[in-house]
């Protein structure tokens, strides 16, 4: 009887094989400022009660130390806006800007680009 030899290098090399179900997996942390910003802004609750919504980040463009973030309520891409964040502001400032914007303006009057250059 001939047995087929299998050259399975992943059998003994932890780097080449998937972790077992009972084995903890190692996930790399955010690799860039855009990753950090995405983690801080995506799926965050804005507002309270019936007027609350979750954010959904569609895109982030970094230019120098500024960011352009396209964000909308989850499942409502037609209500998306672009936040232009200067280097002085944080994700917390961006979320506060969104909360103020969406609580005070009707959908049809929301500007397409919102410049967030200083903390509010």
Q: Would you say the C-alpha torsion 63, 81, 98, 29 has a positive or negative sign?
A: negative
Per-residue pLDDT tens over the stretch 22-46: 666 566 655 788 999 999 999 999 8
Long-range (24+ apart) CB contacts under 8 A made by 104-108 are 107/79
**The predicted structure's pLDDT at residue 104:** 66
Separation of first and last alpha carbons in the chain = 78
The 10 Å CB-count burial string (b at 16+, else e) for 68-93 is ebbbbbeeeeeebbbbbbeeebebeb
**The predicted structure's pLDDT at residue 85:** 94
8 A C-beta contact, residue 15 and residue 24: no
């Amino acid at each position: 009887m001939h047995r087929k030899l299998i050259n399975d290098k992943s059998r003994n090399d932890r780097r080449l094989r998937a972790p077992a179900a009972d084995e903890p997996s190692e996930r790399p942390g955010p690799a860039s400022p855009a990753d950090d910003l995405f983690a801080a802004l995506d799926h965050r609750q804005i507002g309270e009660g019936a007027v609350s919504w979750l954010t959904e980040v569609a895109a982030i463009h970094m230019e120098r130390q500024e960011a352009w973030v396209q964000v909308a309520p989850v499942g409502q891409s037609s209500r998306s806006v672009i936040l232009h964040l200067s280097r002085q502001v944080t994700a917390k400032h961006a979320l506060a800007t969104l909360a103020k914007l969406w609580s005070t303006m009707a959908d049809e009057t929301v500007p397409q680009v919102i410049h967030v250059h200083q903390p509010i």
